[in-house]
Structure 1
Amino acid sequence: MAGTAQAFDSAAALLGAVGRDLGVTDWLTVSQARINTFADATGDHQWIHVDPERAASGPFGACVAHGYLTLSLANLFLPQLVQFQRLKMGLNYGCEKVRFPAPVVVNARIRGQGQITAAEALPNGGVQLVVRITVQIEGSDKPGCVVDTISRLYFE
């Protein structure tokens, strides 16, 4: 079972947490409906994602989630791993080192695993935080995505 999100209430607390394992989230099943909704939102209707009959004879034997759908789930997983108390403002600053080592096949169960890999004080009193999210696929040795998320956080 997934643990509770770890809470931080200051830039100093984050600066002292580099290297900390944040645990894992709950499992999420990647349904064909979620894949289709993402295809509609992005205009990417490639058959490998949205045509189950054709995808059955394709390289993965079924439809697969878009890589960017898998990446976007970091936004779902991050607050399940880490939460901020006394936060005035938080900004998504970007991502680094995005990789998609393995496909996420339709109906696969995935979860996020997090680790604080860097924290740097900002000149205006904030902190830039890097959390590596590894999207694990149940039963697979390889993850579906690994991304270093970058946030800028400002505390009271």
Structure 2
Amino acid sequence: MSENSVTLSIDELPTAKGTRFGPSDWRVVTQDDVDLYARVSGDDNPIHLDAEVAAATPYGTRIAHGMLTLGLVVPLMAEVFEVTGVGMGINYGFNRVRFPAPVPVGSRIRVTGEVSDVTDVGGGWQITVPVTFEVEGNAKPAAVAELVLRYYR
């Protein structure tokens, strides 16, 4: 965990509203990442895979899938946010997701977030965590999403 990280016990979650974390370390999004995601997801849009097609788009290069970017919340957030004393933690979903800017292959991203809400879910806690994915050198974020997580004893 880095200096920008937060570790909370499950007993601290009820008072975690407003807790900020991040940014995580930068992570390079490689063409290998994009190719693997395309194979697994079946999303073979040429903007992600074909250098010649991608060069002719407004982006001028291949870009990562938005859902790949979103999926990287797991390793990036693990660097900067941890809940201890948990028997089970689950990704309950997303309330809202937007992709304001592309992630060019070879660029670096990182994530920041804040606990915006905490709800008792009987035997555990549900937290709402807006997260922002930055692309190094870009003023617009690559993704903004409201992540919903549940932690049970």
TM-score > 0.5 by shorter chain: yes
SS of 2:91's partner is strand
For 2:56, the equivalent position in structure 1 comes to 57
SS of 1:25's partner is coil
SS of 2:118's partner is strand
Share of identical aligned residues, percent?
A: 36
- Tell me how far 1:89 sits from its aligned partner: 1.3
Tell whether the 8 Å contact from 1:78 to 1:133 is kept in structure 2 after alignment.
no
1:17-96 equivalences under 5 Å are: 17-96=16-95
For 1:3, the equivalent position in structure 2 comes to 3
Tell whether the 8 Å contact from 1:3 to 1:24 is kept in structure 2 after alignment.
no
SS of 1:153's partner is strand
Q: Using a 3 Å threshold, how does the CA distance of structure 1 residues 149 and 97 change in structure 2: closer, same or farther?
A: same
Tell whether the 8 Å contact from 1:5 to 1:79 is kept in structure 2 after alignment.
no
For 2:126, the equivalent position in structure 1 comes to 128
Unaligned ranges ≥5, structure 2: none
SS of 1:94's partner is strand
Give CA deviations for 1:51-97 in whole Å, capped at 9, x if unaligned. Answer: 01221121101001111111111122222221121111112111111
Tell whether the 8 Å contact from 1:133 to 1:146 is kept in structure 2 after alignment.
yes
Unaligned ranges ≥5, structure 1: none
How many residues end up aligned between the 2 structures? 152
For 2:150, the equivalent position in structure 1 comes to 152
SS of 1:45's partner is coil
SS of 1:19's partner is coil
For 1:99, the equivalent position in structure 2 comes to 98
RMSD between superposed Cα atoms in Å: 1.3
Runs of 4+ aligned structure 1 residues displaced above 4 Å come to none
**Distance (Å, rounded) in 2 between the aligned partners of 1:3 and 1:73:** 20
Give CA deviations for 1:107-155 in whole Å, capped at 9, x if unaligned. Answer: 1110011111111112x23110111221101111111111111111113
For 2:117, the equivalent position in structure 1 comes to 118
**Distance (Å, rounded) in 2 between the aligned partners of 1:108 and 1:116:** 27
SS of 2:115's partner is strand
Normalization by structure 1: what TM-score?
A: 0.91
Paired amino acid for 1:72:
G
